[in-house]
Structure 1
Amino acid sequence: MSTVWIGIVVMIAGCFALKYAGLSVPERLLDHPLTMRAAELIPVALLGALIAVQVIADGDTLRIDARLLGLTVAAVLLVLRVPFLPMVVTAALVAALARQI
């Protein structure tokens, strides 16, 4: 049996065990306020981390360029409660203009 197939079998077993462990969590733990609050905040934190990595990182180096300016404009427009589509278009335009300069 090749190493690839061993890896596939191990991943299948690991995924099954993880799924089974999630289904085995007691209901009282899932209904706890701290668990519910964490479940609400984790996706926001992960999305923020992904955005930060995509905007600032370039391989192993940090880059401050037009992407960061576009993200800043989007954040300001978000605070001002601008609708999503105009916010994205404006941030993209600002980033594009910054790249041209």
Structure 2
Amino acid sequence: MSGAAVWTAILLTAVGCYLAKWSGLVVPAGFLERPLVRRLAALVPVALLAALTAQQTFGGDGALAVDARAAGVGAAGVALLVRAPFLVVIGVAVAVTAGVRWLGG
């Protein structure tokens, strides 16, 4: 990718971010108080985090990659199901991922 293309992408992204922020400021307060909008606003961060987690876990060079990261995320899911504390969930995910990598997976 050439330098001009990179700078064009950076500028377009900056303008898009500015317009997104500006649009949030000009939305009437009454619109934001609607129950549907409030529910959606509460769910958007969860959906974005889930999408980022899935992309980082299973994305690899444009193809589906199932490796030690998937085992770690699965183990973290099990730890969440048994209502383990957050730090324990993270520790379980790290330990399982490291163990699978150590075993050659």
C-alpha distance 46-4 of structure 1, shift in aligned 2 (>3 A): closer
C-alpha distance 64-4 of structure 1, shift in aligned 2 (>3 A): closer
Unmatched 5+ stretches in structure 1:
none
Structure number with larger C-alpha Rg: 1
Unmatched 5+ stretches in structure 2:
none
CA displacement at 1:90 relative to structure 2 = 1.5
Moved more, 59-68 or 44-53: 59-68
TM-score by length of 2: 0.79
Moved more, 81-90 or 44-53: 81-90
Aligned to 1:42: 44
- 1:53-72 equivalences under 5 Å are 53-72=55-74
TM-score by length of 1: 0.82
The two structures, once aligned, show a CA RMSD in angstroms of 2.5
**Aligned pair count?**
100
Report Cα offsets for 1:54-101 as digits up to 9, x if no partner: 000112111111110100010111111101111111111111111122
Distance in 1 (CA, whole Å) between partners of 2:81 and 2:10 is: 46
Aligned to 2:20: 18
What secondary structure is seen at the aligned counterpart in 2 of 1:50? helix
Distance in 1 (CA, whole Å) between partners of 2:51 and 2:19 is: 27
Aligned to 2:85: 83
Report Cα offsets for 1:3-61 as digits up to 9, x if no partner: 98887776665554433322111111100000000000000000000000000011211
What secondary structure is seen at the aligned counterpart in 1 of 2:27? coil
Moved more, 30-39 or 80-89: 80-89
Distance in 2 (CA, whole Å) between partners of 1:4 and 1:18 is: 21
